[in-house]
Amino acid sequence: MEFRLISGNEVSSSIYGELRERISSLRSKGVVPGLAVVLVGEDPASQVYVRMKGKKCEELGMHSVTIVLPADTNEADLLKKVDELNNDPKIHGFLVQLPLPKHINEDKVIDAIDPRKDVDGFHPHNVGKMLIGDPLFLPATPAGVQQMLMRSDIETAGKHVVIVGRSNIVGKPMAAMLVQKGKGADSTVTVVHSRTKDLAEHTKRADILIVAIGKARFITKDMVKEGAAVIDVGTNRINDPASEKGSRLVGDVDFDNVKEKTSAITPVPGGVGPMTICMLMANAVTAAEMSMK
């Protein structure tokens, strides 16, 4: 079967064009969208992600602030910093990069963020708003997946979507978004996970298969329905002696073998990854627009 590659770089480029117009409109009214990121500790993956966010803000003409705190920062000091950002008029949206050191209660920190500035969409208020179909902000990665489907003309209405993974960051919100009424939704959704019996029997019935389980090349050719659209959210680093770095990134889907069976598929890297930062920027712009009302 001839498959179509869904490029996150191409889809995000289109969205960035729209965001630049919105940012220009805000700046003409004296408002510069401000995004802050708080990083506690020196997790290498988090550091890279935070740098990418800052660079993208600069490219878009947004105000960017990065706050780096030592790994031994206590919970009270971090909550004080969150309160400062809640009350900073130049910061329209911010996030505390996860994971946090073990001595800090992540739920307590998330709960302390003003829901109107919670551009990650993790605050219980925003999770509830998303669940009833009236969101302030959608979590960036699921929102990116939904935009990829919509902008690639992959119909979701009446389709059977199987989501592999039940995390609070991807799996659960993805399911909540796709069962809503409206464009890019109206799906019949099945969520499978590590405790699901006969998992492959479910994935083989999917018109759209979304995989976010965190296991390299977990989904194989025999687990995919002929003609399905496959969205690979996973990012895993595996050893590769042929690579200059001695390793390379792969998804949760065995891309080389699965692609020929699909109607559309996302690559790793270059698929969902670029969409996550893109939708975070979109949420920050939305937060700036909301601040004017």
What is the rounded CA–CA span in Å between residue 106 and residue 97? 10
> Which listed residue (56, 97, 147, 159) is catalytic?
97
Q: Order of strands across the sheet with 4-5?
A: 4-5, 262-265, 228-232, 208-211, 160-164, 188-192
Catalytic, 118? Answer no
- Which residue shows structure tokens 């809640």? 86
283: number of Cβ within 10 Å? 27
Active-site hit among 53, 56, 117, 159? 53
Q: Which of 221, 220, 225, 234 is nearest to 207 (CA)?
A: 225
Assess whether 147 carries a catalytic annotation. Answer: no
Token pair belonging to 61: 């003409």
CB 170 within 8 A of CB 191: no
Is 97 tagged catalytic? yes
The answer, yes or no, to whether the previous bond of 142 is cis (omega within 30 of 0) is: no
> Which is catalytic among the residues 118, 120, 232, 254?
120
Angstrom distance (rounded) from CA 222 to CA 125? 40
By annotation, the residues acting in catalysis are 53, 97, 120
